A = this chain, B = another copy of it.
Amino acid sequence: MKAVTLNVEGMSCGHCVAAIEGSLKKELGINAKVDLAAKTVSVEFDEANVTVEKIKDVIEDQGYDVN
């Protein structure tokens, strides 16, 4: 398992947390933890199945900017 923390702009409330954590779980099957104050999304994933690029795509599809 690989652990990565991404810097994400635009997350503002519990709905945003649910949108990001939910879409990563649903679309990629991975667990994510959003920290609104730190503006980060931390994920753990199996590199055999998922790439950081895919994770960024899912977050961006929800309307947020990944730096």
**Chain A 10-44 against B: per-residue CB contact (8 Å), 1 yes, 0 no?**
10111110010000000000000000000000000
> Chain B residue with minimal CB distance to A15?
B15
The interface of chain A, by Cβ under 8 A from chain B, is 10, 12-16, 19, 63
Residues of B within 8 A of A63 (CB): 14
- Of A12, A14, A15, A16, most buried by chain B (CB within 10 Å of CB) is A15
A–B pairs, 10, beta carbons within 8 Å: A10-B13, A12-B12, A12-B13, A13-B13, A13-B15, A13-B16, A14-B63, A15-B15, A15-B16, A15-B19
Q: How far is the CA of A53 from the CA of B48 in the complex (A)?
A: 54
Q: How far is the CA of A13 from the CA of B14 in the complex (A)?
A: 10
